[in-house]
Amino acid sequence: MSMDYYREYILDHYRNPRNYGKLDHPDAHAEDNNPLCGDQLAIDLQVDDDHITEVRFQGRGCAISQAAASMLSEMIEGKTVEEVVQLGKDDVLDALGIPISPARTKCAFLSLRVLHRSLALAGLEKPTMDDEDDQ
Amino acid sequence: MSTSDSVTVTTMDHTKTNSAMRTAAEIRKDFPILARQVHGKPLIYLDSTSSSQKPEAVIEAMSTYYEMYHANVHRGVYEISEEATARMEKARVKVARFINAHRSKQVIFTRNTTESINLVAYSWGNTNISAGDLIVLTEMEHHSNLVPWQLLAQRTGARLEFVPVTDEGLLNLDVYEQLLQQQPKLVAFTHMSNVLGTINPVQEMIMHAHAVGAIALLDAAQSVPHMHVDVQALDIDFLCFSSHKMLGPTGIGVLYGKRDLLEAMPPFMGGGDMIRKVGLRESTWNDLPWKFEAGTPAIAEAVGLGVAVDYLNTLGMENVFKHEQDITAYALEQLQTIPGLTIYGPDVTKRGGVVSFTLADIHPHDLASILDQEMGVAIRAGHHCAQPLMERYSLAATARASFYVYTVREDIDALVQGLRKALQIFNL
């Protein structure tokens, strides 16, 4: 059953992350780490006309956290800020398409947390997602 | 005060070396948890450096305490309170003998290694460290032997310097000697690294620290459970360790200190049991060790720790160490057969039963998940509470397997098999 964790597309996103890197002048930026495992993640966004026109992320961590970040970056590019603000855990789980055990939820949702934090820091959304409430 | 007086320790159990330890396969049967399954497979526990499992004797002794003689200690004049007090103080004597302390009153019960170090950092540190004083630590310390000193340095303006770690995973002793020339007030270092397994030459390091007038604190969380540690032979000033890593329960740890140092130190926490006489505005302190044991202590845990010490004495610490050396040598040999696997730390002659490694581009967390679900193998993945050491090696995390008295070669074989499965899953 653990094979489910490591399907081809997960490994593909892990080894060939989409939108990897950073922006020189991002409109929104945030970074965080998972103190339990040392995973790190930073997200840069360019926002034009209420749309996410460019996304870059950088990080290091397990296949789950890095694949989730890569998928999330694909998911949000071109979307309106309002649409991205609405993104939640279920959207990440749907994209991953694998069952996530309680011990791995912090890995799966690290990028989502950083994304919302970047929008909040840029004043584009209210800080609504509780950083500590990942379970 | 109905406590038994501090006991001068005259016998040394560890001198009775058992010629041969029971085999690890037999010892396993004493540990109920090792009979359970995870994910439909037998549990293979390779995370004893984090916390060891407990033999039935320890679990039973704690249950018996609650069933037969639970009462608060050092207070009651009735039968069961006196019995609880006697058992707790007997555990203190057992611990004192185990580390060859001169007097049992030099053994202070804390919650764990972390609290023991914090006790010294506050009580001894606040009194003896001032602005500009130097404290020497090393790059391989656990966070619990870094952060208390950072806090002390912030409170007092003291200076922290660090002994670097070589590529091989050893302390750079040349730098240590240079730092000693700057006359530090305190040196604090680990006996054995919880990441690299490195066993440091602490006897020599302590001697050289004393030669320049420094006080030495040893983080023995990883050594006392695995080898014979003699505080008098080491001439160590403060020694800190935890029960839960040495077959005992969680929630109790030990601070050993030289008597004159402990006598001169002010209390760490105030409350019941640590006082002699209390007035509304001031109080006087109890004798050692109770001066440092405010509030109702972990009584069941002390009893359990005493039984854990008995269990280790029966095996003989020389045998325990030798068994772990055998298992570690076997593990290093087997792990090296796996393509893409990198082992951190020195060779088997300079390390204990801890092996940190990485495998190709597979993150340690993924390795731990796969080992757990495919093989029932429990290992640790992460920074192991030693982030500066991880940075020293430019690593975010490692996987870590660690061994104890109940580890058998078949456990290593399962680990190796699981790592080969991980390679397959990651298409490597």
Q: Does residue A127 register a pLDDT over 90? A: no
CA distance linking residue A68 with residue A116, whole number of Å: 14
Q: How many CA atoms lie within 13 A of B257 on its CB side?
A: 22
CB proximity list for B403: less than 8 A, separation 6 or greater: B46, B48, B324, B327, B328, B331, B353, B354, B411
CA distance linking residue A121 with residue B142, whole number of Å: 34
The CA-atom distances, in angstroms, between B14 and each of A110, B154, B309, B326 are 50, 41, 11, 21
CA distance linking residue B163 with residue B140, whole number of Å: 9
Which chain A residue lies closest to B364 (C-alpha atoms)? A62
Of A127 and B171, which is predicted with more confidence?
A: B171
Per the CB < 8 Å rule, is B366 touching A2?
no
What does the pLDDT look like over B65-124, one tens digit per residue?
A: 999 999 999 888 899 999 999 999 999 999 999 999 999 999 999 999 999 999 999 999
Q: Does residue B369 register a pLDDT over 50? A: yes
Q: Are B158 and B215 in contact (CB under 8 A)?
A: no
Helices (H) and strands (E) in chain B, counts: 15, 17
CA distance linking residue B178 with residue B39, whole number of Å: 53
CB proximity list for B405: less than 8 A, separation 6 or greater: B21, B24, B27, B247, B312, B315, B320, B323, B324
Nearest CB partner across the interface for A2, out of B361, B374, B396: B374
Residue keyed to tokens 């077959």: B247
pLDDT of residue A37: 67
Which chain B residue lies closest to A106 (C-alpha atoms)? B365
- Give the bridge partners for A29, in sequence order: A44
At residue A133 the predicted structure's pLDDT band, cuts being 50, 70 and 90, is very low
Report the percent of chain B where pLDDT is more than 70.
Answer: 96
CA distance linking residue B259 with residue B135, whole number of Å: 22
Which chain A residue lies closest to B367 (C-alpha atoms)? A62
Locate B178 and state its tokens.
């240079």
Per the CB < 8 Å rule, is A64 touching B390?
no
CA distance linking residue B114 with residue B219, whole number of Å: 9
CB proximity list for B204: less than 8 A, separation 6 or greater: none
Q: Are B292 and B271 in contact (CB under 8 A)?
A: no
Beta strands in B260-414 (DSSP E): 275-278, 283-285, 341-344, 354-359, 377-378, 380-382, 398-402
- Whether B50 has its CB under 8 Å from any CB of chain A: the answer is no
Locate B139 and state its tokens.
């790059």
Q: pTM of the entire structure?
A: 0.92
Catalytic choice (B308, B385, B390, B415): B385
Mean pLDDT (chain B, rounded)? 94
Q: Nearest Cα to B47, choosing from B409, B397, B406?
A: B406
CA distance linking residue A40 with residue A61, whole number of Å: 6
Which residues from B are below 8 Å from A39, CB to CB? 365, 396
Q: Does residue B2 register a pLDDT over 90? A: no
Which residues from B are below 8 Å from A15, CB to CB? 361
- Quote ipTM for the complex: 0.87
CA distance linking residue B294 with residue B274, whole number of Å: 5
Q: Give Dmax (Cα) for chain B.
A: 72
* B385 labelled catalytic: yes
- Whether B161 has its CB under 8 Å from any CB of chain A: the answer is no
Q: Label residue B80 left, alpha or beta by phi (over 0 means left) and psi (-120 to 50 means alpha).
A: alpha
Which residues from A are below 8 Å from B386, CB to CB? none
Per the CB < 8 Å rule, is A6 touching B425?
yes
CA B214 to chain centre: 23
Which amino acid makes up residue A64?
Answer: I
Are β-strands A51-60 and B37-38 bridged in parallel, bridged antiparallel, or unpaired?
unpaired
At residue B196 the predicted structure's pLDDT band, cuts being 50, 70 and 90, is very high
3-class DSSP assignment, residue A57: strand
Q: Are B251 and B111 in contact (CB under 8 A)?
A: yes
Q: Does residue A38 register a pLDDT over 90? A: no
The mean-pLDDT minimum among A58-67, A86-95, A121-130 falls in: A121-130
